[in-house]
Amino acid sequence: MADQQAPSARPTAADPTASDPTTVAPASAEPATAHRTTTVEKGRFTAAHCTCGWRGPARRARSKARTDGTEHEASP
Ligand SMILES: [Zn+2]
């Protein structure tokens, strides 16, 4: 009676090529001239950020950052 154990093939635990992140493009429903600025605090500094991707310089005074954003909205 031969009790042979067949070499079991190991299943590959991790397949690096399995995960393929697909970049989801945002819907182009936004108007082209959308400049809405917000102030983002970074530690002690505040910087103005715009929806178009523009970023103002970091200011110590929040009012200064708001002014940067307002100026950018006025003349982007
Ligand atoms: Zn902008």
Looking at the domain assignment, is residue 54 inside a domain?
yes
Residue with more model confidence, 18 or 8: 8
Please report whether residue 25 resides in a domain: no
pLDDT on residue 34: 84
Residue 18 domain-assigned (yes or no): no
Residue 42 lies in a domain: yes
Is residue 48 in a domain?
Answer: yes
Cα 43 to middle of ligand 1, angstroms: 23
Which residues in 43-71 are b (16+ Cβ under 10 Å) and which e? Answer: eeebbbbbebeeebebbeeeebbbebbee
Q: What digits encode the pLDDT tens for the residues 14-66?
A: 665 655 566 665 555 555 668 999 999 999 999 999 999 999 999 999 999 99
All residues with CB under 5 Å from ion ligand 1 = 35, 50, 52, 54, 76
Evaluate whether residue 44 is within a structural domain. yes
Tell me, yes or no, whether 57 lies in a domain: yes
Report residue 69's pLDDT band, with 50, 70 and 90 as the boundaries: very high
Range of the domain at 55: 37-74
Better-scored residue on pLDDT, 51 or 3: 51
Q: What is the pLDDT of residue 44?
A: 96
- Specify if 59 maps to a domain: yes
> From the CA of 22, how far away is ligand 1's center (Å)?
27
